[in-house]
Structures are given as structure tokens and as C-alpha cells.
Structure 1
Amino acid sequence: MIAFDRFTDALDYPMYVVTAQAEGERAGCLVGFGSQCSMRPVRFMVWLSELNRTCRVASRAERLAVHLLRRDQEELARVFGGETGDRADKFTRVAWHAGPGGVPVLDEAPAWFVGRVAERVAGHGDHVGFLLAPEEVRHPADGGFPVLALREAIGIPPGHPVD
């Protein structure tokens, strides 16, 4: 649908790095589909490509971490968006620590939250939705920062096919 492509081309939404851990296996990817979707209770939905290793690990995970990056952190975004975890351990290239439930939290991310997976939504296209109930949140006390958005990440070639 060309008209819908024009509509979405006008958007410049934030990009996120989503990480997961299940049964001793870690994964993470750059995600463009995510948003708060409820105020009471607070909920956030991220959509992971079915082709992505992170989706397979997340399907067995109890929690996911969602990270915001600063606009100048394109190299960190490139690690999680331009490589596939099927061929490389992305976590050997970045500083991280185990967060709640063992989920990897990226040390360089200025803001992040770990959410319990409240529900998985599959069968509606090529992505699986993960409804998250935030449990722990870190954000700078001094307010906001310029976040990495689609326009900054558009040049990162995907680590796996997109269709």
C-alpha cells in the first residue's frame, strides 16, 4: 500500500534495543515497533520479528529489557540492528550487566526498563507482540535526552532479511 508507506515514512519514532535471557541464552535486537499502550495499569508493547533470534529467546523469557539510546549511539544500535545473533554473540562487544531475572541490561544505555512479559500476541503479520509490565526503570534524573530515532538508524542494514 503506497499511501500507507507514505504515512509511515513521515514518522520518526524512537528506536529501542530489546534484550532477553532464557535458559542461559541471551539475545538482543534493535526494534522500531514499540510504545506505551496503557496508563493504568502501565503497559508497554514491543513487537519482535519472527525471523529474529531475539524473538525465539523472548518467547521463552519471563522478562525483557527495553533500552533507549542517545542519538549519538549509532554504533551501539548497529551492533544490535546490523548483526544477527545467529552468527555473533553481540554481548561480547558491549558492556552489560544482569538485571532483574537475569535479563541483560546495557550499561551504556542512558534509560531502560525491565518488564515482566504479561502476554504474547502472535499471528498478526510477521512480528510477535510482547506486552510488558514494567518492574524496574532507570532514567536520568535531569530529564530527557535526544533519543536515537528511525532517521538516525535507517542506514543500518538489518542483520537478517526483513521479508
Structure 2
Amino acid sequence: MTDLDPFTDLLDYPMYVVTAEADGERAGCLVGFASQCSIEPARFMVWLSKANRTYRVAERAERLAVHVLRRDQGRLARLFGGETGDDTDKFARVPWHRGPGGSPVLDEAPAWFVGHVEHRIDGGDHVGFLLAPEATEGFAGDRTPLFTLGDTHGITPGHPAN
């Protein structure tokens, strides 16, 4: 097997908080594997670790909410990346509201979208969720630096990374 680390170690991509709701359960986690994957129709793919509680909720969810964070929102990143929903009710510690389809939307996120789950793709230790955006909100023209992979140093994952 080829080691991809020499390539990926050069990258500093945005991090996202993905939230889900299914059967009255809410979950959310910090995600680095995500990207727009189509322009027309607009589609976005997020990858969730099978070890993560958010994955277990998302596999039953019809929609996911995807949030970007500003670089100065390390507290939110640590909560959603360093705590596990198995032990912590993350939503009791942050302001949020129900978005389209009941999706939990973080009030402090500078931009977010809710997408309908069109497909789930097993990618190994992560599952990809192909999302068709249904609603989005953000601050047009706001070019505040985003929270990136480089900003995650010092956050110990709530679950192993794989």
C-alpha cells in the first residue's frame, strides 16, 4: 500500500463541523474530509469516521448540516473535535437552532448549509455522504480566515482518527 502522508502533510484544508439529527438524537463532529464535488447540480461530500457517534446518527439522518468556523473559534472546534457525543451533550454547551428538516444549526458558525443525503459511499474507515444543498446561510463578502487543519494541532480527537 502506498503511503499518502508525504502528499497530505502539505495540505492545510478547511475544517467543518457536521451535525445530524435522527430519531430525536443529535450529534456533531469536526470534519476535515469534505469538499464541493459538483457545480451543476451543486453537490458537497463529507466523510464521517465509522468510529464516531455522529456517523451512527448520520447513517439514519435524511439531512446533514455543514458549518465552517472562523480561525478564532477554537473553542467550538475543540468541543466538536475533542469531545465525544458518547460522553458529552455538545448541544447543551452551544447556542443552536433547528434548521431545515430539523437539522441542528450552530448559531455561532459564520456560514452553514443543510444538505439532503443523496448517497452514502463506504470509503474504508470513513463513509462519504453526498449532499444536495437545500438551504445555506453565510455572510456575503466576509473573508475572515477559516479554521483549518493547521489550527487543529493540540486537539486530541474524542475518538481515534480512523
For normalisation by structure 2, the TM-score amounts to: 0.96
Q: Where does residue 13 of structure 2 map in the other structure?
A: 13
- Provide structure 2 residue ranges, at least 5 long, that are not aligned to the other structure: none
Q: Secondary structure at the match of 2:160?
A: coil
- Provide structure 1 residue ranges, at least 5 long, that are not aligned to the other structure: none
Q: Where does residue 105 of structure 1 map in the other structure?
A: 105
Measure the CA separation in 2 of the matches of 1:29 and 1:45.
15
**1:132 is aligned with what amino acid?**
L
Matched, 1:137 2:159: no
For normalisation by structure 1, the TM-score amounts to: 0.96
**1:40 is aligned with what amino acid?**
E
Q: Where does residue 25 of structure 1 map in the other structure?
A: 25
Q: Where does residue 88 of structure 2 map in the other structure?
A: 88
Matched, 1:72 2:56: no
Identity %: 69
**2:85 is aligned with what amino acid?**
G
Q: Secondary structure at the match of 2:45?
A: strand
Measure the CA separation in 2 of the matches of 1:44 and 1:65.
11
Measure the CA separation in 2 of the matches of 1:30 and 1:73.
12
Q: How many pairs were matched up?
A: 162
Q: 1:8 to 1:158 in 2, by over 3 A?
A: same
**1:145 is aligned with what amino acid?**
T
Measure the CA separation in 1 of the matches of 2:70 and 2:115.
21
Q: Secondary structure at the match of 1:101?
A: helix
Measure the CA separation in 2 of the matches of 1:161 and 1:39.
33
